[in-house]
C-alpha cells in the first residue's frame, strides 16, 4: 500500500549514506580507542602512584589554577564581546560569559561536532537582540583569532625544541617549509576574504563544485550565498580600528593563560615542566580534542592527555595526576558552570 501524501518518505540512498557514515564513525572510534589503549597500557601501573600524589599535593596550586582559568575565560568573553561590538544587540559581560559556558555544556550534553553549541549561541544571543547571522559571524571571528593564537603556541614550542637541539636538520627544514606554506595560504586567504569581487569569484566556483558532487546532502543556492557574502564583507568593515588591536590581545590572553593553568597543574604535584614540553603537549591536546565528536570520544580525550605528556618524557604518575586535574578544571568545571548558566539564561524572555 503506497504511503499517504502526508507521510514522509526518506530516499533509500539517503538512509544508506547516513548508515555508512554512522558505521565509519564507529569503526574509526574503535580503531582510535585500540590505539589509545596501546599507548595507555604502560600507565596502568602508575594509577596507584598517581593516587598517592593527590595525598601529598600542594592544593593551594589547585586554587591558583582555578583562578587563572577564570581569568582565561574572561579573556575569551572579552574576545566575544569585541566580535559582537559592531552589531545592534546588547549583552553585558557576565551574561555573555554564561552564553559561552552554556555552549560548552550543550556541546557535551548533545554531541554533534559542535553544532549544538552553535545553535544554542544563536538562540541565547537572540534574547539580547542579535540576529542569527550576527551570532554566527562573531563566532567565526572569535574562532579564527583563537586558532591563530593556538598555532602561535605550537610554533613557540617548536622554536624551543630547535634551540635545545631536539630536532634534526631535516625536521627543521620541513617545519620551515610548512611555516612558509601556512603564511602564504593565510595571506592568500585574507587577500581573498577582504576583497568582495575575489571572494565572490571563489564562492561561485565552490558552489558549482559542491552542487555537482554534494547536492544530495544539501543544495547551495547561489543568490542566498552571495547575500551572506555581502553581509560578511559589510560586517568586516564595521569593526573599529581599536578592535584590531584588542581582538588579538584577548585571543592570545585566553590561550596563554590556559597554558599557564596546565603548567600550574603540574606544579601542584611538585613537578616543574619544561616550557617546550608544556607548549607542545598543549598543542597536541587541542589537536586531539576533536575526538570528543566521535562515539566515546570524551573518554578517549581524558585518557589521551596523560598519554601525551608521558610520551613527551613526563613521569607516568605525574602525567596522570596533572593531566586529569587540568581536564577537571579546564573542561568539566566549565561545563558544570555552563549547565547552571544555561538554566538561568533560558529564563530570560
**Burial environment of residue 155 by CB neighbours within 10 A (0 to 12, 13 to 18, 19 or more):** middle
Q: What's the pLDDT score for residue 334?
A: 92
Q: What's the pLDDT score for residue 197?
A: 85
Q: What's the pLDDT score for residue 22?
A: 58
Q: What's the pLDDT score for residue 94?
A: 95
Tens-of-pLDDT digits for all 349 residues of the chain? 455 554 444 455 544 555 555 566 555 555 555 555 555 555 566 678 888 899 999 999 999 999 999 999 999 999 999 999 888 789 999 999 999 999 999 988 887 767 888 899 999 999 998 988 788 888 988 888 888 888 787 777 777 666 666 566 666 677 667 667 766 776 777 777 777 788 888 888 888 888 888 777 778 888 888 887 787 777 777 777 767 789 889 999 999 999 999 999 999 999 999 888 888 888 777 766 655 554 444 556 667 778 888 888 899 899 989 988 998 999 889 999 999 999 999 887 6
Q: What's the pLDDT score for residue 256?
A: 93
Q: What's the pLDDT score for residue 180?
A: 74
Q: What's the pLDDT score for residue 294?
A: 46
* Full-model pTM: 0.75
Measured between alpha carbons, how far is 328 from 185 in angstroms, rounded to an integer? 36
Q: What's the pLDDT score for residue 68?
A: 97
Long-range contacts of 86-92 (CB under 8 A, 24+ apart): 86/235, 86/238, 86/239, 86/240, 87/130, 87/131, 87/134, 87/138, 87/235, 88/129, 88/130, 88/134, 89/125, 89/128, 89/129, 89/130, 89/131, 89/134, 90/128, 90/129, 91/125, 91/128, 91/130
Amino acid at each position: 500500500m503506497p504511503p499517504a501524501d502526508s507521510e514522509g518518505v526518506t530516499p533509500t540512498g539517503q538512509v544508506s549514506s547516513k548508515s555508512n557514515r554512522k558505521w565509519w564513525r564507529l569503526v574509526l572510534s574503535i580503531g582510535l580507542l585500540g590505539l589509545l589503549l596501546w599507548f595507555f597500557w604502560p600507565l596502568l601501573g602508575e594509577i596507584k602512584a598517581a593516587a598517592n600524589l593527590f595525598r601529598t599535593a600542594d592544593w593551594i596550586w589547585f586554587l591558583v589554577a582555578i583562578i587563572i582559568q577564570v581569568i582565561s575565560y574572561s579573556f575569551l568573553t572579552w574576545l566575544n564581546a569585541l566580535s559582537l561590538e559592531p552589531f545592534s544587540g546588547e549583552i553585558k559581560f557576565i551574561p555573555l560569559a554564561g552564553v559561552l559556558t552554556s555552549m560548552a555544556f550543550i556541546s557535551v550534553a548533545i554531541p554533534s561536532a559542535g553544532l549544538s553549541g552553535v545553535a544554542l549561541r544563536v538562540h541565547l544571543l537572540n534574547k539580547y537582540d542579535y540576529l542569527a547571522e550576527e551570532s554566527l559571524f562573531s563566532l567565526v571571528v572569535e574562532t579564527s583569532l583563537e586558532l591563530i593564537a593556538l598555532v602561535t603556541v605550537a610554533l613557540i614550542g617548536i622554536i624551543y625544541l630547535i634551540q635545545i637541539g631536539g630536532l634534526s636538520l631535516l625536521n627543521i627544514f620541513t617545519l620551515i617549509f610548512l611555516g612558509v606554506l601556512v603564511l602564504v595560504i593565510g595571506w592568500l586567504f585574507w587577500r581573498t576574504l577582504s576583497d568582495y569581487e575575489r571572494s565572490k569569484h571563489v564562492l561561485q566556483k565552490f558552489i558549482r563544485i559542491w552542487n555537482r558532487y554534494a547536492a544530495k546532502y544539501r543544495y547551495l543556492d547561489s543568490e542566498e550565498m552571495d547575500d551572506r557574502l555581502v553581509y560578511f564583507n559589510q560586517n568586516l568593515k564595521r569593526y573599529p580600528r581599536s578592535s584590531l588591536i584588542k581582538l588579538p590581545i584577548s585571543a592570545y590572553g585566553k590561550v596563554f593563560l590556559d597554558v599557564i593553568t596546565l603548567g600550574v597543574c603540574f606544579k601542584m604535584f611538585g613537578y616543574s615542566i619544561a616550557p617546550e614540553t608544556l607548549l607542545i603537549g598543549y598543542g597536541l591536546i587541542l589537536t586531539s580534542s576533536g575526538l570528543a565528536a566521535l562515539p566515546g570520544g570524551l573518554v578517549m580525550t581524558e585518557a589521551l592527555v596523560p598519554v601525551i605528556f608521558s610520551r613527551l618524557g613526563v613521569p607516568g604518575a605525574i602525567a596522570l595526576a596533572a593531566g586529569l586535574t587540568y581536564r577537571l578544571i579546564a573542561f568539566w568545571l566549565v561545563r558544570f558552570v555552563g549547565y547552571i548558566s544555561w538554566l538561568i539564561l533560558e529564563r530570560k524572555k
